Structure 1
Amino acid sequence: MNRTILLFCLLMPLATVADEAAWAAWRAGEAALLMRHALAPGTGDPAGFVLEDCSTQRNLNARGKQQARDWGQLLAKQHSGSVQLFSSQWCRCLETAELMAIAEVQPLPIINSFFAGRGDGPTQTQALRHFLQTAPQQSPIVLITHQVNITALTGISPASGEGILLSLPLTEPVQVLARIRMD
């Protein structure tokens, strides 16, 4: 048991160093932050879903709203300059981005959910790859999207409000620099 604790304590500073290197890459335009929207309890969307009507969708709860604000504070600490902030058009993603309060939110349809046949997963994933390969690196990039989109690109199933820093340019498989959870 003591060996396990010792090993954990020895590895903990390495994770912090690795995370700082990932954040430095993000600030330098050598990484992109791909985030799952903050906590919106449930799965998928209710029957009668209408993209333009938030009352027909799953939405952030109080904890999800706080996660989004916490992300905004974290990102402001990581970078004091401008940020490119893109979001799925789903209300829970747009609200996550807006509550972060770090930049003007730019809706990006290619990162809309394709869960339950609402979109075309392979086509959207390829378009996202292309976007990340060709996006102007004038400032750090943040994309707020859905679990299915992140899983299709990375193989990772993120928790609500989890962020993944991806190395740019993208490789095959995608290189994950860090995973950041906002509990």
Structure 2
Amino acid sequence: MPSSLPPEMQINRRTFLATGTAGTLVLSALPAWAQQEASAETLLRQGGVVAVFRHALAPGTFDPPGFRLGDCSTQRNLNDEGRAQARRIGDWFKERQLQPAKVLSSPWCRCVDTATLAFDSPQVWPALGSPYGARETTGAAHLRELRAALSIASARSNGFEVWFTHMFVQSDLANDSTRSGDALIVRVDRGAQPRVLAKLSVTG
């Protein structure tokens, strides 16, 4: 995504981002969305984090009656705006030459489609699935899987993962959530608890 900042601000942001006080001063001159984007990009380059995306825009709230996993015609699906959001996610990473070590997706069609439009070939992982049949909380077994995988990803000396999931899963894992098509940048802290380090919004 081309920056709307003047050239000198673009250079300063990249040069001083991680240099203590100087980096803080530069970030403080940026709009809030740009601060979050800059922080997220830095964290992804450092590695040891997961970008936990909520699927792109799929109008509605819950899946309709008669929902069947594996049958996209029975589910909420991305609309044109959602598909455009998904492509912008992929473009943002490509423009910055940021290549995830893994791309994992909920088996729900709106997540698989978001991941596929952004990164081509995601690995489907049931633990990222919508809490179907469990109201608005992720199943305990799935939550344990997510936390274990996040701990492993956080221990990487370099590289990052991208996960595509649902608002309720974001909330249960990290006690936070995003708009459609946005991500939480997460790693575990010293107490092995998920911690949100930044939010990433590239879909406009």
Shared fold (TM-score, shorter chain, > 0.5): yes
Aligned length: 174
* Gap change, CA 1:158 and 1:14, over 3 Å in 2: closer
The AA in structure 1 aligned to 2:151 is Q
Among 79, 89, 92, the alignment partner of 2:97 is 79
SS in 2 for 1:64: helix
Structure 1 partner of 2:185: 165
1:110 corresponding residue in structure 2: 127
Q: Which moved more, 1:117-126 or 1:86-95?
A: 117-126
Q: Percent identity over the alignment? A: 35
Report 1:1-183 matches (<5 A).
11-13=28-30, 15=32, 16=34, 19-81=37-99, 83-100=101-118, 102-117=119-134, 120-135=138-153, 137=156, 139-168=159-188, 171=191, 173-181=193-201, 182-183=203-204
Relative to the length of structure 2, the TM-score reads 0.74
Distance 2:190 2:55 in 1: 22
Amino acid at match of 2:147: R
Q: TM-score, normalised by structure 1?
A: 0.82
CA RMSD of aligned residues (A): 2.7
- Structure 2: give runs of 5+ residues left out of the alignment: 1-26
- For residues 120-174 of structure 1, the C-alpha deviation after alignment (integer angstroms, 9 at most, x for no partner) is 5222122101011124847421000001100001221321111111135575653
In 1: Cα distance, 2:103 partner to 2:132 partner: 22
Structure-1 separation of matches of 2:174 and 2:146: 12
Query: Which structure 1 residue ranges, 5 or more long, are not aligned?
Result: 1-9
